[in-house]
Amino acid sequence: MQKLIIANWKCNPTTLKVVQKMALELRKRIKKNPKIEIAVCPPFVYLSEVAKMFKGSSLRLGAQNCFWEERGAFTGEVSPLMLKNLGVKYVILGHSERIMMVGETNEMINKKVQTALRDGLFPVVCIGEDATERTEGKTFQILEQEFEQSLIMSKKIDWERVVLVYEPLWAISTSSHSLGDCTADDALTAALFLRKLVLNKAGQKAARNIKILYGGNVNAQNAEDYLLEDGIDGVLVGAASLDIKEFLAIC
């Protein structure tokens, strides 16, 4: 299966000039390769500029969030339809940073997944346990719960367009990182578990075709460990994607 590498720039960088430099470098250096697809998720305000810069290349664009309505009186929100019309393909939903900092709930995530799918985007849904849940041995329980609540409440899922990410909160580079890195073995175990959940809910075709990625301190030193696993279809990269040299090394 084609591997998918997604850069999540989070709330960086702070000027358009730097964005242009980063996007230009990626555009110059990343060549079409049937084995991998590369997507970049900049903050909303830079999307249209990056869309212009990526035009005609194999690079894909993603957003870091969206709302669950298409249009209307929703001050401050950005709709999936607006993103689609801008040339965005992916949208990250349910990121732990949004859950912790903005109070996003599984119900909200579920609604966002629905609208994103309806408007033709590919939702990249993050699922993962925190350090306490991990040490208490609740990893699978949490994965199943988040999977159920953020996806299964949905009436109709186009599984071909859903991307799942196992992103354990404790392994994110900017977290306290108290349990160290998530090894490729641990990431694979979680990815296989998520694939089994998809199998049980949606059948073999969905389980075979769905992309399940790993995210959490992926960098140039360890990316290959995750990407070489057959059961891991790609990586979601945070901090290391801001250093374009390092991101290119990962790709």
Q: Which residues are catalytic?
A: 95, 167
**Binder of ligand 13P out of 172, 187, 190, 210 (CB under 6 A):** 172
Q: 103 φ, ψ to 5°?
A: 75, 30
Does residue number 239 form part of the binding site for ligand 13P (CB under 6 A)? yes
Q: How far apart are the first and last CA of the chain?
A: 16
Cβ atoms of 112 and 123 within 8 Å: the answer is yes
Query: Judged by CB under 6 A, which stretch of 24-32, 44-52, 113-121, 172-180 contacts ligand 13P?
Result: 172-180
Query: Which segments of the chain does DSSP mark as H helices, in order?
Result: 16-29, 47-54, 80-86, 96-102, 106-118, 131-135, 139-147, 184-202, 204-209, 223-227, 244-250
Query: Judged by CB under 6 A, which stretch of 52-60, 65-73, 171-179, 225-233 contacts ligand 13P?
Result: 171-179
Q: Which is nearer to ligand 13P, 81 or 167 (CB)?
A: 167
Does residue number 94 form part of the binding site for ligand 13P (CB under 6 A)? no
Residues 213-232 contacting ligand 13P, CB under 6 A: 215-218
Q: Which is nearer to ligand 13P, 154 or 173 (CB)?
A: 173
Residue nearest to ligand 13P (CB): 238
Which SS3 state, helix, strand or coil, does residue 235 take?
A: strand
Does residue number 128 form part of the binding site for ligand 13P (CB under 6 A)? no
Report, in Å, the least distance between residue 204 CB and ligand 13P.
29
Q: Which is nearer to ligand 13P, 41 or 151 (CB)?
A: 41
Kindly state the tokens that stand for 176. Answer: 């306290």
- Only one residue has tokens 């989070």, namely 10
Cβ atoms of 166 and 215 within 8 Å: the answer is yes
Report, in Å, the least distance between residue 92 CB and ligand 13P.
7
Burial class (CB in 10 A: 0-12, 13-18, 19+), 151: buried
Q: What is the DSSP letter of 183?
A: P
Q: Which is nearer to ligand 13P, 216 or 234 (CB)?
A: 216
Note the residues at the interface with ligand 13P (CB under 6 A).
Answer: 8, 95, 167, 172-174, 215-218, 236-240
